[in-house]
Amino acid sequence: MLLKPSVFVTRQIDPVALDKLAKIANVEVWNSDSPPPREILMEKLRTVNGIITLLTDSIDEEIISSASHDLRVISQMAVGYDNINIQMATRRKIPVGNTPGVLTETTADFTWALLMAIARRVPEGDREVHQGIWRPWGPNVLTGQDVFGSSLGIVGFGRIGQAVARRAIGFKMKVRYFDVQRYPELETELNVQYASLSTLLSQSDFITLHINLNPSSHHLIGREELGIMKPTAYLINTARGGIVDSEALYDALKFRQIAGAAIDVFETEPIPAHHPILELDNLIITPHIASASKQTRARMAMIAVNNVIAGINGEQLPHCVNPEVYQS
């Protein structure tokens, strides 16, 4: 009898997807809310045929280079894959999968949740009431900024950036986007205007980031960029923490060079408990949950499973980030 291939899954994922995988593979799931330690990842990659990873698993050069030749696929349950050394995986001819598309709308929804929350001071109001403070209605109590009719700058006009722009139509916003490429048809369809990064930063009331983290986007938003934003402007980040220089952001918020920021990601995740940025009242921060709807997480799990199944069967992954591995 043929041995079933083996797959290691670095966290509990949707049971329906896991059941599908268990029908064709011996599956071991890391049963903890924390990522497996490095030694475990190393050990598993030396023994399994496929692995499903999350963005909290650092699959770096050393780990990939020590993987066994029987490792046929790394399947990331996320659209981003900056935690994986793709170059090394490609050199080793290991296809890497990701889960694009299915989290677009959920992430765009959450971007808007953050944008509205920081503009209209929702967490502050909620905190006060929970603390037993209901200030009498007053002309200046918890006043924020209008979103309707304001201007929005979208950095990165891929799937998620476009979904954010679609939602802005209802708010009658003036929308600018910056990207490495232009989208002339979408400019008409979504009523958006292409702008340089500096124009976008200096003209927008809200700036939202939707690009991948890679060496060229690391600290794309630093001191200089924050310095040209309007003092009344807000920064929203649901992409990756490393795109923003967090020390520069701290200073910009503390010294009110910008009005506020609402971020779902940070350079170091989890953020250290006593990080000084957490003391600032013009920051909203959530723990990387922009794609966290039950339906989306189930869809992501199914794509990750489909990728891993294709990989262990020696077939091309439905969603592969390094298709060069298939060139002979």
Instruction: Note the residues at the interface with ligand DGY (CB under 6 A).
Output: 55, 78-80, 103, 290-291
Smallest distance from the beta carbon of 187 to ligand DGY, in angstroms? Answer: 26
Q: Please give the structure tokens belonging to residue 104.
A: 């677009």
Q: Choose, from 269, 279, 315, 324, the residue flagged as catalytic.
A: 269
Smallest distance from the beta carbon of 239 to ligand DGY, in angstroms? Answer: 7
Q: Which is nearer to ligand DGY, 25 or 103 (CB)?
A: 103
Q: Which is nearer to ligand DGY, 116 or 292 (CB)?
A: 292
Smallest distance from the beta carbon of 48 to ligand DGY, in angstroms? Answer: 22
Give the helix ranges, DSSP H, for the chain: 15-22, 38-47, 61-65, 86-91, 104-119, 122-130, 159-169, 184-189, 197-203, 223-228, 246-254, 294-312
Task: Note every long-range contact of 246-251, with CB atoms under 8 Å and residues 24 or more positions apart, other chains counting.
Answer: 246/277, 248/221, 248/222, 248/223, 249/221, 249/277, 250/276, 250/277, 250/280, 251/223
Smallest distance from the beta carbon of 13 to ligand DGY, in angstroms? Answer: 13
Q: Catalytic annotation on 288?
A: yes
Q: Choose, from 288, 297, 299, 319, the residue flagged as catalytic.
A: 288
Q: Kindly report the number of other CB atoms within 10 A of residue 274's CB atom.
A: 7
Q: Which is nearer to ligand DGY, 44 or 210 (CB)?
A: 210
Q: Catalytic annotation on 240?
A: yes
Q: Catalytic annotation on 92?
A: no
Cβ pair 191, 215 in contact under 8 A: no
Supply the DSSP symbol for 304. Answer: H
Cβ pair 153, 200 in contact under 8 A: yes
Q: Choose, from 11, 72, 240, 319, the residue flagged as catalytic.
A: 240
Q: Which is nearer to ligand DGY, 173 or 244 (CB)?
A: 244
Active site residues: 240, 269, 288
